[in-house]
Structure 1
Amino acid sequence: MTVRSRRRLHGAALLGVLATVLLAAAPPSEEQSPTERARPTVARCVLDGVVDSGSGDYLADCVARAETEGHVALLVRLDTPGGSLEATRIIVRAFLASRVPVLVWVGPSGAHAGSAGVFITLASNVAAMAPGTNIGAAHPVVGIGGQDPEVAGGKQLARKVENDAVAFVESIARQRGRNAEWAASAVRDSASIPADKARELRVVEHVAASEAEFLAWADGRRVEVAGGDAVRLATADARLVELAPNLSQRAVHALAHPSVVYLLFLVAALGLVVELSHPGAIAPGLIGLVALVLALVASSALPVRTGALVLLLVGCALIVAELFVTSGLLGAAGVVLLTLGGVFLVDRFDPGWFVDRSFHLSWAWVVPTTVALAGAAAYVAYRGAQTRRLPQQGGDAGLVGEQGTALDSVSPEHGEVFVHGERWRATSPAPIRPGAPVVVRRVEGLTLFVDEVKT
């Protein structure tokens, strides 16, 4: 065997060893049996919370992925108070244009498909609700106290918004063969019904206590998907494949809530107060700055009042200014502005949003959190003021007033003293004997001007 051949053999052996090591170190793959691979798969997505741009993109992406990956259906678990009308339209368009059957299950018990959730449920091919759930109240009412569009924006604007929403929901219901009359009443009269009534009125097709029960019931049903094709559902023994949102969709959805926006403003204010009262700490200031940026980003995805944002920003500025003035008035004014900004944060009437009455910041949440912030900021300001009143402990100014001992005779021309653990050159207008106690009156360079302490 030649040298080159031996080298090739050794190289092949080395590659074999490396491959064996890598295979052993790699996590075990989830090998599926032929029977498991033969089972149909159903993609599963969850819409929990407000319908915003993040969740809208997520569900539209779920439809596209279900089609691309060849799943037999897409199952959406729904629990929402409503949300952005534009995000709702994105979801509805994706459902209606889907070539994969879309199944919506409103659950678990206690969940609801409120406001914009009505449009999403009606847009599905097959819909079911868990016992103890409800659907409806899709009238365009938003904000604090659930103010009606007619009160907030006038009759003409109210009629325009309402008619547009009614036409939208009726077209969805008719296309899916559901009760268009009830759908219109959900918008015009804020009609809301429980699961059993929804099935009776042909708003949904079934009442199922679980997703598995819903899929078993839906098995064998024929539905019409985009393009007019009829598809028979094969969901009884299907394997669920979870489709998770990406990081961007998850972040937008997590931030899109008034309480999160308000809390971020409070964290920003407290972080800046701590940083300015303790310069150089860095971490509190950085946290406050990041919280402020996130609050502004999140507020752009919500129906918020510009005036409320201004109140929050001015309130934060006044609390920070209190550190330098320490009058108490600026801090109190900042707390009041933060409270008002939180209460009026959600727009009373925004035609781009369909949410139920729970979507707002209540006094019961705003007041305690603001008081807690005010207490923390007041404590930080008080401790900062105490620190500023203390005498300087370092540098030349820190030596003034310090007492020591004369190491030898101190005269107006020369002398040495022991002060603050160090030997210093010193002078005194009156002679001081060695060993006498002295006090520093002035410092010039490396020379201390001292007086004898009379006992």
Structure 2
Amino acid sequence: MPRPASHSPAPVRALLVLAIFAAALAAAGPLRAQESRGDASGELPERRRPAVGRCTLTGTVDAGSAAYLQDCVVDAEVAGYDALLVRIDTPGGALESTRAIVRSFLGAEVPVLVWVGPSGARAGSAGVFVTLAANAAGMAPGTNIGAAHPVVGPTGQDPEEAGGKAMGEKVLNDTIAFVESIAQQRGRNVEWAVKAVRESASVPAERAVELNVVDVVAPTEEAFLAAVDGRTVELPSGEVVLRTANARIVELEPSLGQRLVHWLANPSIAYLLFVLGGLGLAIELSNPGMIVPGLLGAICIILALVAFSALPVQAGAIALMLVGIGLIVAELFVASGLLGVGGMVLLVLGGVLLVDDVDFEWFVEPSFGISLGFLIPTVVVLGAGAVYLLVRAAEARTIPQLGGDVGLLGERGRALSAIGPGGGEVFVHGERWRAISVRPIAAGAPVAVRNVDGLTLTVEEIV
């Protein structure tokens, strides 16, 4: 007997499933072919917009700025940025800090791009090494790079003049070897790099491109990123093609500690803090109990010591400033005029000599130091202000005391009861007091205080 018709749909369902699956495969085939045709024609889906981290080196190269740039490299690597952009405007700085930055740039697993700008900026002295260490470098019009001969101190002495022939040759040869290794690794003009160190060669932006010191001249950061887009650069892990055109720029901020160290590593700031701190402490010691000058002075001295630890300073210059502060304070008691002027002269001289002129660990342009244009007005203003505060403090000492037992002498009041040698009561200074008097005083009579003995007042009647 044939099977019931009700069981016949099962094979039909199987055939339908196979038909649907085959249709899906047929539809997927054209789609994949369509994508392949799109690849062949260059019509790729929209690419992710590149992201570039940016950090800024302005002022001296010091421990604070070195730590900041090293952190920037690490942050850019961790975040997976397409590149790290470093904007530079520096006169130079500490040699060890420069080496730390260069090591970080040469070992970075993210392309490091250095742009000297904006117009008017410079990559002086230590800035030459930082720029050469970049994978790609550019400069804004009106900028310059160079003057990397090792000099020391605010007067720009040659190391040989400051420390003898042997020391001069040692510093010069070491610096030349340093810059040669950087230029060779980055494929830049080794001959010019050596010349910049040996002869203080310095060139503007356009000439720097011609000499293969930097790659491009670009007026803005965006123009620089667009100009280097598509270049192939070498990283420790291999070659990478730069994707920086129309990049999203992400600012990488320094930490508070790095900002503070970099701010303090400025001779003018360090000098100002030390002088202010010394004057504040001198005012407090001359007039104990004022508290505010002493507290502010202590804070300024601590900050100045932190700054001195990050700068090449001379102990003799600090001693001159201390003597100058002492003379200004002594002027209050002598009032000759000569001590105050002498103190100001010593403060100026100490500022001029503050930066150590035989410290070979710093690599800066000769302009690094404290200028007379800053020193003289600062010393005059601070000296005059200190004398004014000292004079006002001295005047305060001559004001009659209004508190305590002495403050009651001469105070007037009213007899609350009859007063005689045996005693009585008076109302003085808003308070009720026990009082005695040589002569009898009637209740209600006006009285004046002539002596204070513990809680007993000696009064007399005011006629």
Shared fold (TM-score, shorter chain, > 0.5): yes
Query: What is the CA-CA distance between 1:297 and the residue it aligns to?
Result: 0.8
Query: What is the CA-CA distance between 1:142 and the residue it aligns to?
Result: 3.3
Query: What is the CA-CA distance between 1:278 and the residue it aligns to?
Result: 7.1
Asked which structure has the greater CA Rg, the reply is 2
* Mapped contact 2:184–2:190 kept (Cα < 8 A): yes
- Which of 358, 362, 383 is matched with 1:353 structurally? 362
Identify the residue that residue 19 of structure 1 maps to in structure 2: none
What SS does structure 2 have at the residue aligned with 1:47? strand
Identify the range of structure 1 (113-122 vs 156-165) with the bigger mean alpha-carbon deviation: 156-165
- Which of 427, 440, 455 is matched with 2:449 structurally? 440
1:367 aligns with 2:372: no
Within a 5 Å distance, the mapping from 1:207-222 to structure 2 comes to 207-222=217-232
Query: What is the CA-CA distance between 1:161 and the residue it aligns to?
Result: 1.2
What SS does structure 2 have at the residue aligned with 1:146? coil
Uncovered stretches (5+) of structure 1, i.e. residues with no partner: 1-34
Residues 237 and 451 of structure 1, relative CA distance in 2, 3 Å threshold: closer
Query: What is the CA-CA distance between 1:394 and the residue it aligns to?
Result: 1.4
- Which of 114, 117, 120 is matched with 2:124 structurally? 114
Matched residues, number: 417
Identify the range of structure 1 (280-289 vs 379-388) with the bigger mean alpha-carbon deviation: 280-289
1:326 aligns with 2:333: yes
- Which of 159, 164, 172 is matched with 1:162 structurally? 172
* Mapped contact 1:273–1:377 kept (Cα < 8 A): no
Query: What is the CA-CA distance between 1:414 and the residue it aligns to?
Result: 3.5
Query: What is the CA-CA distance between 1:421 and the residue it aligns to?
Result: 4.3
- Which of 132, 139, 151 is matched with 1:141 structurally? 151
What SS does structure 2 have at the residue aligned with 1:351? coil
Distance 1:136 1:392 in 2: 67
Aligned residues: CA RMSD: 2.8
Distance 1:183 1:148 in 2: 18
Which amino acid counterpart does residue 348 of structure 1 have in structure 2? Answer: D
- Which of 210, 223, 226 is matched with 1:200 structurally? 210
Uncovered stretches (5+) of structure 2, i.e. residues with no partner: 1-44
Distance 1:350 1:67 in 2: 35
Query: What is the CA-CA distance between 1:52 and the residue it aligns to?
Result: 0.5
1:395 aligns with 2:407: no
Query: What is the CA-CA distance between 1:180 and the residue it aligns to?
Result: 1.6
Query: What is the CA-CA distance between 1:235 and the residue it aligns to?
Result: 1.6
Query: What is the CA-CA distance between 1:217 and the residue it aligns to?
Result: 1.3
Query: What is the CA-CA distance between 1:149 and the residue it aligns to?
Result: 2.2
Within a 5 Å distance, the mapping from 1:249-328 to structure 2 comes to 249-272=258-281, 282=291, 284-313=293-322, 315-316=324-325, 326-328=333-335
Q: TM-score, normalised by structure 1?
A: 0.82
Distance 1:339 1:38 in 2: 58
Residues 155 and 441 of structure 1, relative CA distance in 2, 3 Å threshold: same
Identify the range of structure 1 (146-155 vs 274-283) with the bigger mean alpha-carbon deviation: 274-283
Distance 2:282 2:381 in 1: 14
Which amino acid counterpart does residue 372 of structure 2 have in structure 1? Answer: W
* Mapped contact 1:273–1:380 kept (Cα < 8 A): no
Identify the residue that residue 45 of structure 1 maps to in structure 2: 55
* Mapped contact 1:142–1:350 kept (Cα < 8 A): yes
Which amino acid counterpart does residue 256 of structure 1 have in structure 2? Answer: A
1:247 aligns with 2:256: yes
Residues 436 and 119 of structure 1, relative CA distance in 2, 3 Å threshold: same
Query: What is the CA-CA distance between 1:318 and the residue it aligns to?
Result: 6.3
